[in-house]
Amino acid sequence: MKAPLELPENLRRMLRSHAPGLESDIERFLETAPSPCLYIRSERVSRSPLRPSILHRLMGHRAAQPVLSTLDSKFGGIPYVEEVDLTWDGFHFLGQLNFAQLSDAPATLPSRGLFALDRNLRAADCTANSFRVRWYPEPTEARARPVSPPRCIGRWETRMQFIPGWSLPGGAEWEAPLPAGVTQLHDAWNAWTPSGYLEDEQRPGLHRLSGHRSAGLDEPYSFVPPPGRDSSLRAYAQLLRIDFDNASGFHWGTNQGYVLIHPEDLAANRLERAMVTWANA
């Protein structure tokens, strides 16, 4: 259920004092601003990690064996692979998302297909080429190739849990209905954190699937568009926001990874054309 968006009284007073009708304009903006999304929380599936630390070994824990299916949505474990010649030389497996396992998913997302990400160890951290994207439109157990478990970015195998939620526009899009140059009003507006929205930004450790683009994408580190597409980042939808993950055992410092895709590629079920960029928010 969508949480109500009630303007705080201090914001209402500021809007009314600045210009007649501004409060009504903002309320109309808020009526259409929310966009559905799914939050992703990780749940460990074993008592031991895939790669035990020295402390775990001293406590007598052995490395866990992967337990989740190759078709499951997860971080770590055994990836789903269809390619005969896919190499893991220079790559670590991050995770994969099976759209057929989603419930209450936004209508813009595929109803089936498996999307996977692998860390490219030959590329610098937080760069446009730091991940390999893989997309399988019709994944099945029969199509899956047997693979030896590759090294994973996280030390633990975790199951993805999906939680329906709502996002709001970020950055310049969030400030668009305000008059320019009114610093105090902009500060108060940006300080307002409506309850029930953008849980991934207010509760670190959650990832977000679909929804509005985050404020951090106003100042990304790097972005390389897919062949034949617009070079402006504003032309792309935010498919996935990846935060640090204590349950899985990976982090990006103070950065977040963003998987972006052109809306036409998303509508055409061409998720292999998704790109990864980074931002410090």
pLDDT in tens, 39-72: 999 999 998 898 877 776 677 778 889 999 999 9
Q: Say what the pLDDT of residue 56 is.
A: 67
Output the 3-class SS for 13-30: HHHHHHCCCHHHHHHHHH
DSSP 240-269: EEE--BTTTTB-BTB-EEEEEE-HHHHHTT
Contacts of 129 (CB under 8 A, 6+ apart): 120, 123, 224
- Phi/psi for 134 (5° steps) reads -130, 140
The three-state secondary structure class of 175 is: helix
Q: Say what the pLDDT of residue 172 is.
A: 92
Q: Degrees (nearest 5) of the Cα angle 61, 67, 73?
A: 125
Residue ranges of the chain with pLDDT lower than 50?
A: none
CATH 2.30.320.10 fits 36-163+193-279, yes or no: yes
pLDDT in tens, 236-263: 999 999 999 999 999 988 899 999 999 9
The domains of the chain are located at: 36-163+193-279
